[in-house]
Amino acid sequence: MKSHITNAISDFFCEYETPRQVLVRNRRVGVVCRLIQLGVLAYIIVWVFIYEKGYQSTDTAVSSVFTKMKGVGYTNVSGEERVWDVADYVFPSQGDASFVVMTNYIITEGQKMGKCPELPGKHHCSSGSDCEGGRYKRQMTGVCVNTTKTCEVLAWCPVEDDSKIPDPPLLMSAENYTLFIKNSVTFPTFKVSRSNLVEGIDKNYIGNCLHDPKTAPLCPIFRLGDIVKMSGFSFETIAKVGGAIGIVIDWTCNFDVDVRKCKPTYEFHGLYGNPDEKDDVRASVGYNFRYAKHYLEDKVQKRTLLKVFGIRFDIIVQSLARKFDIIPTLTAIGSGVGIFGVATVVCDLMMLYLLPKREFYKNMKFKYTESQTQDPDSEAGSTETEASNK
C-alpha cells in the first residue's frame, strides 16, 4: 500500500501526458479544416477586434443638460395685440432637458366659479331628468337650460369652447426662436469629463453661430424651424396641433487617441404629431395641455384658461467610450482560440462517419486496450496489453 502511494506521487510529479495526434493525409478533410480555421480567424479579426473592438473596455457617461430659449412672439387676435416672451411660452421653467414651446393656443378669459349651461351640442337635454348628477364628466345641477337645450353645470364659467383650433397657428414666429443646449458628460471609469462646448467654441463663436450639420456641426445653438425640418416635420402642421421631437446628443469616443477628438454629434427625430401617421393612431396626433392664471377682481377669484398646443422637446444623451484594456483583449483571444476547436470536431465527423475509408481512420485514431488482472500482491498490481483491431 505504501509503495502504491509512493509510486502514485512519483508519477504525478515526474510524468507528463500529451494527447496522441494522427496526421491524416486527405485533401478533402484538409481543405475543410483550413477553410473553417480561416473563417474563425476572419471572425476574430474582423468582427471581434475591428467591428466590436473586443480589445477595449467600455464605459457610459453620467450627464447633465442645461437649456435656454430665446425669442419673442407676437399675436394680434381680434385687434388685441400681445407680445410673448420666454416666460410666457416655455413650460416648465427654463433649464430642463424636457420642455414644451407653445406654438398655438385657445384662450378663455374671465372665468369664475358658478353655474352656467354647457356648450350647444354637448350634453343635450329635453328635461331636468336628463341632467342627473354623475351622468357626465362635469358636475351637473339637474337643470336643463331651455335656451341652449343643454344641461347646467357647476364649473368655471363661461365654459371653454375648444372646438375650433386657430389656423394658421397664432405663434408661427416660434419658427425663429433659438435653443441653446449645454451638455456635460463624465466617464467615471476613465476619469474623463467633456462638454459640448469643445475646444474652439468661445463667446464670440457662440454669439454668431447657428447649428448646421455641414457648416457648423458643433454649434450648440439651434433654430426651432431647422430642428423641426431635420426631424421630418412641417413646422406649420406641428405648430397647429403640437407634437414631440427628440434631440439625441451622441458621445461615441475612443480614448486610445487624443481626448480632444471626443466630440458630440446631434440627431433629430420626430416622435409623434405628424398628420401622415396611420389611421389607427390618427386620433392621438398632436400635443396639448391646459394651464390657468388665477387672479382677484373685485374680491372675486377669476382665472384665464389657456389650452396650449406646443412642441415637446426631449433631449436624450447617449454615450459609449472605449479604451484599450489587456483583460478583454486576452478574453477575446482566448475565446477565439477555443472556437478553432470547431474545425477539429467537423473534420473528425467527416473522417469517422462520412468518408469511404472511415473504418480505417477509426482504427488509426483510436487505440483499443484489454485489461488483465494480476496478483494484487505483485509489484505491478495490474498490467495492460495492447491489441489493435485489424
In one letter, which amino acid is 140? M
In terms of Cβ atoms closer than 10 Å to its own Cβ (0-12, 13-18, 19+), residue 181 is buried
Which helix (H) or strand (E) segment holds residue 274: the answer is: none
Closest CA to 311 of 218, 250, 226: 226
Place of cell 392621438: 284
Contacts for 371-380: CB closer than 8 Å, 24+ residues apart: 379/3
Rounded-to-integer distance, Cα 365 and Cα 348, Å: 10
Which residues are part of a known binding site for ATP?
68-70, 178, 288-290, 307
Task: Give the distance from CA 133 to its chain's centroid.
Answer: 47
Which residues are part of a known binding site?
68-70, 178, 288-290, 307
Place of cell 354647457: 118
Cell numbers standing for residue 335: 475565446
Q: Measured between alpha carbons, how far apart are the two ends of the chain, in Å? A: 39
Rounded-to-integer distance, Cα 11 and Cα 3, Å: 12
In 3-state terms, what secondary structure has residue 210?
coil
> With the C-alpha atoms ordered 215, 217, 219, 223, is the resulting torsion angle positive or negative?
positive
